[in-house]
Amino acid sequence: MKAEAIKLDGSAAGSVELDDAIFGLEPRADILHRVVRWQRAKAQQGTHKVLTKSEVSYSTKKIYRQKGTGGARHGSKKAPIFRHGGIYKGPTPRSHAHDLTKKFRVLGLRHALSAKAKAGELVIVDVADLNEAKTSILAKQVSNLGWKRALVIDGAAVNENFAKAARNLENLDVLPSIGANVYDILRRDTLVLTKAGVEALEARLK
């Protein structure tokens, strides 16, 4: 499939041939859902922790005598049954990550790119670079192009001035091609690929 390319000032910059095996698939929500779940689970911190009976700070003195009180036998205020006692089977630090095959992750990225292309939310730009790292210049260009919430994916490396200028723009993310992922692609309204980014993604996903 063929897509028209533009420059950052909005002028035409020729056309680009996109691989149908990467940008022309029929997007499947179940594949995208599984890959996003894998990403978010892997990113989850998992540092939640409660104090167990052996960890709470409390006196170890026996509460009352063993017999003759008419109540249940207790030897410690640390028991989970008491207020301020230890928590029984509460959360402890662990990894929430689960496995997903590399082949399936590649498939998910192809479907994410195809979803953007099918929805008309894919924009190809010639290059993403600036002569000087000025946020005001980039903000004006983004506004003129009508990008509300955009993700820019460049080639192997991102232009330093462009990256610095984009750093202060809340509605603009910038990634090198190696950092392209399903979650970031789907959470932005517009996906912007440079010509170098298209070549790098096609080489990575073939």
Q: What is the pLDDT of residue 61?
A: 86
- Structure token digits, residue 144: 């003129």
| 124, 158: one domain | yes
In the chain, how many H helices and how many E strands? 7, 6
165 & 200 share domain: yes
Whether 67 and 160 map to the same domain: the answer is no
Q: Are residues 133 and 171 in the same domain?
A: yes
Asked whether residue 32 falls in the same domain as residue 71, the answer is no
Shared domain check, 77 and 105: no
Is there a contact between 87 and 51 (Cβ–Cβ < 8 Å)?
yes
Which of 90, 118, 147 is where one domain is finished?
90
Let me know whether 77 and 8 are in one domain. Answer: no
Q: For residue 80, what pLDDT is reported?
A: 93
Q: Are residues 8 and 70 in the same domain?
A: no
144 and 192 housed in the same domain: yes
Mean pLDDT by 10 residues, the chain (206 residues): 90 91 95 98 95 90 91 91 92 96 96 96 93 92 93 94 93 95 96 95 92
- Residue 44's contacts (CB-CB under 8 Å, 6 or more residues apart) are 96, 97
Which residues span the domain enclosing 68? 50-90
State the pLDDT at residue 73: 92
Question: What pLDDT shows up at residue 10?
Answer: 87
- Reference 53, options 33, 95, 82; nearest CA is 82
Q: How many domains does the chain have?
A: 2
**Are residues 80 and 105 located together in one domain of the fold?**
no
3 DSSP β-pair partners: 16
- Does residue 29 share a domain with residue 131? yes
Q: Are 26 and 116 in contact (CB under 8 A)?
A: no
User: Token pair 């000025």 is at which residue?
Assistant: 134
Q: What per-residue confidence (pLDDT) applies to 196?
A: 94
Residues 6+ apart with CB under 8 A from 45: none
